[in-house]
Amino acid sequence: MSASVLDKVAEPEFSPHLTQFIKDWKDKPGSLIMILHQLQQQFGYLPRAAILKLSREINLPLAKIYGVVTFYHYFKLTKPGRNNIQVCMGTACYLKGGEDLLQELENMLGIGVNQVTEDGEFSIESVRCVGCCGLAPVAVCGTVFGKLVPEKLPEILGKLKAGGEQP
């Protein structure tokens, strides 16, 4: 993308906290990942326009920032759905059927991991251990769904779509 096209991208507003964080850390070596964490915390993902603004503010080439962002699975370049369902693929969950859950979820929503449904309602994320191994297999979306079986998914998706699920 040429600089002239990039210049036309609307510049997002950084929160005062983020602005201060960048100011405090931008000149310290190895701080890019910490800054990107803060950036993702503010937006829920890393919008291209925000990365562009960051690149200008910390005087680091876009390519270098994208190199880091694309290396780590933690960073998201696309906006998650209103309900971002994290399916645990840690060892305990995997052994107890995490992969079946993930596959069933993909089938039901018609999307893959790191994709968003057309209506923006759901996205799926595959994550490592979320610290509830005793409840394996586990999915997380606002709350933890433990000992989850594929048969429970339609009900959970329905409740999430209707505005929230509390077990």
Applying CB under 6 A, which residues contact ligand FES?
88, 90-93, 129-133, 136, 138
**Between 54 and 136, CB nearer to ligand FES:** 136
Q: How far is the CB of 128 from ligand FES (least distance, A)?
A: 7
Q: How far is the CB of 99 from ligand FES (least distance, A)?
A: 12
Q: How far is the CB of 29 from ligand FES (least distance, A)?
A: 34
**Between 49 and 133, CB nearer to ligand FES:** 133
**Between 49 and 92, CB nearer to ligand FES:** 92
**Minimal CB distance to ligand FES: which residue?**
90
**Between 109 and 136, CB nearer to ligand FES:** 136
Structure tokens at 58: 């910390």
SS3 per-residue string spanning the chain: CCHHHHHCCCCCCCCHHHHHHHHHHCCCCCCHHHHHHHHHHHHCCCCHHHHHHHHHHHCCCHHHHHHHHHHCCCCCCCCCCCEEEEEECCHHHHHCCHHHHHHHHHHHHCCCCCCECCCCCEEEEEECCCCCHHHCCCEECCCEECCCCHHHHHHHHHHHHCCCCCC
Q: How far is the CB of 104 from ligand FES (least distance, A)?
A: 17
**Between 49 and 130, CB nearer to ligand FES:** 130
Q: How far is the CB of 127 from ligand FES (least distance, A)?
A: 8
